[in-house]
């Protein structure tokens, strides 16, 4: 069974500082990997996804993530955080074969300080 | 292109009642998945429908059921509501079944059971 761990429940970053949100997954083969963002009271918006190929993927809003197979990680990064980035971020994994659902991590709440 | 539409946005029900939630996927999308989101358990997969057939089911009691219509719209039903069913219910649509097609989420239905 697949699983996702997001070790940080909350992270506070100063506006303009860099950001890295951690995600570790457990899956027997190469998975599909996703990062979603959720603003209060809203649904999930896809930031980026990794299916195969280049391990550094670019997403919307200036986010990027790097797939590291040896570490089973898919960390999300942004070089300069804006106050509007404050939200909850979810990492998710999906299987590449068969019918597949997404398994989500518990999320990391990002707080941006002025 | 219209996104995923979930109705109603908010619901308050009494224990023991039943409730029906609706999801209209993006035009052309044939797969609809449902997730329950709570502060304690995070995002948990309920079920997926594709071409009017349930393709996958999560670990929820039989009180949770769903269906999909020929136009791909989906409904989920929860009978004999319990306080613990209070949650944000998210619907996600996808072009086809399988994680590689990606999922677009609706804004959710907030269910409160009193």
Q: How far apart (Å, rounded) are the C-alpha atoms in residues A16 and A113?
A: 10
Judge whether B101 is closer than 8 Å to chain A, CB to CB.
no
* The dihedral sign for the CA sequence B68, B69, B75, B79: negative
The distance of B16 to chain A (nearest Cα, Å) reads 26
- Mind listing the pLDDT tens digit for each residue in A14-35? 999 999 999 999 987 778 999 9
DSSP string, A76-93: EEESS--GGG-EEEEEEE
Total length of chain B: 114
Interface probe, candidates A4, A44, A87, chain B, greatest B C-beta count within 10 A: A44
Local structure of A47: helix, strand or coil = strand
The answer to whether residue B1 scores a pLDDT higher than 70 is no
What would the mean pLDDT of A58-78 be, rounded to a whole number?
Answer: 96
- Mind listing the pLDDT tens digit for each residue in B47-98? 999 999 998 899 999 999 999 999 999 999 999 999 999 999 999 998 887 7
The answer to whether residue B21 scores a pLDDT higher than 70 is yes
Closest CA to B63 of B29, B98, B13, B108: B13
pLDDT-derived band at A98 (thresholds 50, 70, 90) equals: low
Which residues in chain B are closer than 8 Å to A49, comparing Cβ atoms?
102
The distance of A100 to chain B (nearest Cα, Å) reads 5
State whether A99 and B55 contact (CB < 8 Å): yes
Q: How far apart (Å, rounded) are the C-alpha atoms in residues B30 and B42?
A: 26
Put simply, the chain B residues between 50 and 79 with a CB less than 8 A from any chain A CB are 55-56, 58
Q: B79 and B18 in contact (C-beta within 8 Å)?
A: yes
pLDDT-derived band at A41 (thresholds 50, 70, 90) equals: confident
State whether B48 and A94 contact (CB < 8 Å): no
What would the mean pLDDT of B35-55 be, rounded to a whole number?
Answer: 93
The answer to whether residue A57 scores a pLDDT higher than 80 is yes
Q: How far apart (Å, rounded) are the C-alpha atoms in residues B55 and A32?
A: 19
Q: A86 and A111 in contact (C-beta within 8 Å)?
A: yes
Which tokens belong to A1? 């069974």
């Amino acid at each position: 069974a697949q699983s996702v761990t997001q070790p940080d429940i909350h992270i506070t970053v100063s506006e303009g500082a860099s950001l890295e949100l951690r995600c570790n997954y457990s899956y027997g083969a190469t998975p599909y990997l996703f990062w979603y963002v959720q603003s209060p009271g809203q649904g999930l918006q896809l930031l980026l996804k990794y299916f195969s190929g280049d391990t550094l993927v670019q997403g919307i809003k200036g986010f990027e993530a790097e797939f590291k197979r040896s570490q089973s990680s898919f960390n999300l990064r942004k070089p300069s955080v804006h106050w509007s980035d404050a939200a909850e971020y979810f990492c998710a994994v999906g299987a590449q074969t068969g019918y597949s659902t997404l398994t989500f991590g518990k999320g990391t709440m990002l707080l941006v300080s002025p | 292109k219209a996104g995923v539409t979930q109705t109603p946005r908010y619901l308050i029900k009494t224990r023991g009642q039943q409730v029906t939630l609706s999801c209209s996927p993006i035009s052309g999308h044939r797969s609809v998945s449902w997730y329950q989101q709570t502060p304690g358990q995070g995002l948990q997969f309920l079920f997926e429908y594709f071409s009017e057939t349930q393709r996958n089911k999560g670990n929820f009691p039989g009180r949770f059921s769903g269906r999909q219509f020929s136009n791909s719209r989906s409904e989920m039903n929860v009978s004999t509501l319990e306080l613990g069913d209070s949650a944000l219910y998210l619907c996600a649509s996808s072009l086809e079944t399988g994680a590689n097609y990606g999922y677009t989420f609706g804004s959710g239905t907030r269910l409160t059971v009193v």
